[in-house]
């Protein structure tokens, strides 16, 4: 477990330099692996924070363990900068290719993935109508592209019906093939920004000390770290994607990112955490299920799941066939059927039942 792993890393800080190149993430730097371990610990604690009375190490509740980690940086080192990010670096030398290698992903295939209305709402301030972009999150041009012949950012309806599609998909923005589809593109597992977002939420909710002032500082650190990460990522393609310090300040003063202009600080933190988690597995979906943020909608075409945004992945038929007893027991514990509508025990929906 993560508690035991932290001790193992502490007791075995050195690995032979002769095998360092075999570790594509940290080069067998055990100090960084230990930071990753304990940052994952914070992610896990945050994930089950809705069940705050849970005893996590035979002694501490969720808030108590969070506070212990924050108070003991020598015993529980965590990420402290983007240099600690858990990122797999691909060399583009066979066989170390990114899964988004252009030879496996044509531009036509890749750009079929559209940005949604919700994404655009989170990253663009509109003017008098949707064709006027008054302000744009500087990360957006790094991860997306406007449709040719359209001078503004537009999102599609997630899960739209076939009848809706011709209208809502017209002119919609899409993923940036140039920045994302590279054979040496990094793979992100966890970022420093996520740790700061976790601490921001923890301070805001009283899970750790510091209150609102500390929460704001953690939040602004998180946004800044995310901006700088994507700036560095985009700069590999073009200097046009570099995000300056002034642009970060401008964002934090904008209606999209301002602490003062957004009174619902919990939603602000999670909305920005959701954006920062782009391209990191299913973390955005996990945050949505845990908190209900960001506020998402579903189109008229999602009849398969009875118009319900998926709450979990159903067990595949092979699992039911080969491990029926344990699968049945797990479903009984969840209190639901083997579908995508049964909420997981740590989710907002399950807690509020």
Q: Let me know whether 121 and 164 are in one domain.
A: yes
- 223-232, pLDDT tens digit by residue? 999 999 999 9
Q: Let me know whether 261 and 313 are in one domain.
A: no
Q: In this predicted structure, what is the pLDDT of residue 165?
A: 87
Last residue of a domain, one of 78, 103, 123: 78
| Distance (Å, whole) CA 342 – CA 345 | 9
CB-based contact 133:125 (threshold 8 Å) = yes
Q: Between the CA of residue 84 and those of 10, 25, 80, 234, 295, what are the distances in Å?
A: 17, 10, 7, 19, 31
| Distance (Å, whole) CA 299 – CA 160 | 4
Q: Let me know whether 47 and 117 are in one domain.
A: no
Q: Let me know whether 112 and 242 are in one domain.
A: yes
Q: How many percent of the chain have pLDDT more than 90? A: 84
CB-based contact 284:278 (threshold 8 Å) = yes
CA dihedral 53, 56, 61, 65 (to 10 degrees): -150
Q: Let me know whether 109 and 245 are in one domain.
A: yes
Q: Give me the helix-helix angle, 192-204 and 30-47, nearest 10°.
A: 40
Q: Let me know whether 211 and 315 are in one domain.
A: no
Please give the residue range of the domain that contains residue 329: 279-353
3-state secondary structure of 205: coil
Q: Give the pTM.
A: 0.96
How many structural domains is the chain composed of?
3
Q: Let me know whether 101 and 180 are in one domain.
A: yes
Those residues of the chain that have pLDDT short of 50 are: none
Q: Let me know whether 352 and 219 are in one domain.
A: no
Q: In this predicted structure, what is the pLDDT of residue 290?
A: 99
Q: Let me know whether 232 and 284 are in one domain.
A: no
Q: In this predicted structure, what is the pLDDT of residue 32?
A: 97
| 84, part of any domain | no
Query: Which CATH number belongs to the domain containing residue 217 in this structure?
Result: 1.20.120.840
| 83, part of any domain | no
Q: Let me know whether 272 and 286 are in one domain.
A: no
Q: In this predicted structure, what is the pLDDT of residue 288?
A: 98
| 315, part of any domain | yes
Q: In this predicted structure, what is the pLDDT of residue 18?
A: 87
């Amino acid at each position: 477990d993560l508690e035991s792993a932290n001790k193992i890393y502490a007791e075995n800080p050195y690995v032979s330099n002769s095998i360092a190149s075999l570790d594509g993430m940290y080069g067998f730097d055990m100090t960084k692996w230990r930071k990753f371990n304990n940052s994952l610990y914070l992610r896990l604690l945050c994930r089950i924070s809705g069940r705050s009375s849970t005893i996590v190490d035979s002694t501490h509740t969720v808030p108590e363990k969070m506070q212990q980690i924050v108070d003991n940086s020598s015993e529980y080192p965590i990420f402290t900068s983007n240099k600690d990010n858990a990122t797999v670096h691909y060399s583009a030398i066979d066989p170390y290719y990114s899964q988004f290698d252009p030879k496996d992903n044509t531009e036509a295939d890749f750009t079929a993935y559209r940005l949604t209305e919700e994404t655009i709402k989170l990253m663009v301030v509109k003017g008098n109508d949707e064709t006027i972009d008054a302000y744009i999150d500087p990360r957006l041009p790094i991860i997306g592209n406007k449709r040719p012949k359209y001078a503004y950012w537009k999102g599609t309806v997630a899960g739209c019906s076939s009848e809706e599609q011709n209208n809502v998909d017209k002119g919609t923005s899409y993923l940036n093939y140039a920045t994302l589809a590279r054979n040496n593109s990094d793979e992100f597992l966890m970022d420093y920004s996520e740790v700061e977002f976790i601490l921001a939420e923890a301070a805001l909710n009283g899970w750790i000390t510091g209150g609102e002032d500390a929460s704001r500082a953690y939040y602004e650190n998180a946004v800044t770290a995310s901006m700088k990460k994507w700036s560095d990522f985009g700069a590999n393609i073009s200097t046009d994607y570099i995000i300056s310090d002034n642009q970060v300040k401008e964002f934090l003063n904008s209606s999209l990112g301002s602490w003062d202009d957004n009174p619902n600080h919990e939603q602000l933190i999670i909305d920005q955490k959701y954006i920062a988690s782009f391209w990191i597995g299913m973390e955005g979906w996990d945050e949505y299920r845990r908190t209900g943020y960001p506020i998402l909608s579903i189109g008229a075409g999602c009849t398969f799941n009875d118009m319900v945004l998926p709450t979990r992945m159903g067990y595949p038929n092979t699992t039911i066939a080969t491990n029926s007893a344990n699968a049945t027991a797990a479903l009984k514990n969840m209190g639901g059927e083997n579908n995508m509508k049964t909420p997981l025990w740590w989710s907002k929906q399950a807690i509020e039942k």
